[in-house]
Amino acid sequence: MKKVIKFILFLVGVRYILNLLDENVHVKEQITKLRNELANLETEDLEIKIKDFFKKYDSTFRDTEDTQEDS
């Protein structure tokens, strides 16, 4: 009888540990997704700032998006 109880407790413990590891993997995936989204936002922000800079200081600069809007 003690062996059965020990075996059941062992299975419950293993299942608990596996659930923790699964949650850890899920959290790591979410962190990676958020890092990628943040990098994309920073890239877009830098592109906008560079375009604004060139528009301000280079009178011959034409943005491809501007030319498409003008057409």
- Work out the average pLDDT over 8-35: 88
Contact 51, 62 (CB under 8 A): no
Q: How high does pLDDT run on average in the chain?
A: 82
pTM assigned to the model: 0.48
How high is the pLDDT of residue 64? 61
- Work out the average pLDDT over 45-59: 84
What is the residue type of 54? F
> Would you say residue 27 lies in a domain?
yes
Give residue 35's domain range: 20-55
Q: How many domains does the chain have?
A: 1
How high is the pLDDT of residue 4? 92
Contact 55, 63 (CB under 8 A): yes
Residue 54: partners with Cβ closer than 8 Å, 6 or more residues away: 61
> Would you say residue 25 lies in a domain?
yes
> Would you say residue 35 lies in a domain?
yes
What is the residue type of 51? K
Whole-number Cα distances in Å, 8 to 3, 11, 14, 43, 61? 9, 5, 10, 53, 73
